[in-house]
Amino acid sequence: LTFFTQFVMGSHGMPRRYYNYLEQFKPYHQASTVGSYILSLGFLVVAGYLLHSLFRGKRAPANPWGGATLEWETSSPPPPYNFDHEMLAGDPYDLESLRWDPSTGGYVRKDPSSVRLTPAEAH
């Protein structure tokens, strides 16, 4: 509605950057103006949702998508020693090893390893 009407006016011979336009183009200009208001309103709605989610939104859990690869096993940002416990690399598509944890709102391993590494042992 905003830009297509301007394209139509140009294809009908309307010149650009004039102080006053011909009367035959007035409905197109009005439609383009209404379209720009709608476009601005849509932008403000999206910007409002963005600001709301940044300041008052729910925090995402550690593994919200149920990814089974190693990058989902550490915190963000990762600590200097990368993982809190020893990790065994397996099939990245082994989604059977994950379960939904309602307390965190994310996915966790069914059998987390009990081995805890200190930063010195991690290297």
Q: What is the CA radius of gyration of the chain?
A: 28
| 34/50 Cα distance (integer angstroms) | 25
| Listed residue (40, 36, 29, 35) closest to 6, CA to CA | 29
- Position 112 scores a pLDDT of 54
Tell me which amino acid residue 28 is. Answer: Y
Alpha-carbon distances, residue 44 vs 35, 93, 119 (angstroms) = 14, 40, 47
**Tens digits of residue pLDDT in 59-104:** 888 778 777 777 777 777 888 887 776 666 666 676 777 788 888 7
pTM over 0.85: no
Q: Which two tokens stand for residue 60?
A: 């995402």
pLDDT digits (tens, 9 = 90+) for 4-37: 888 888 888 887 777 787 888 888 888 988 999 9
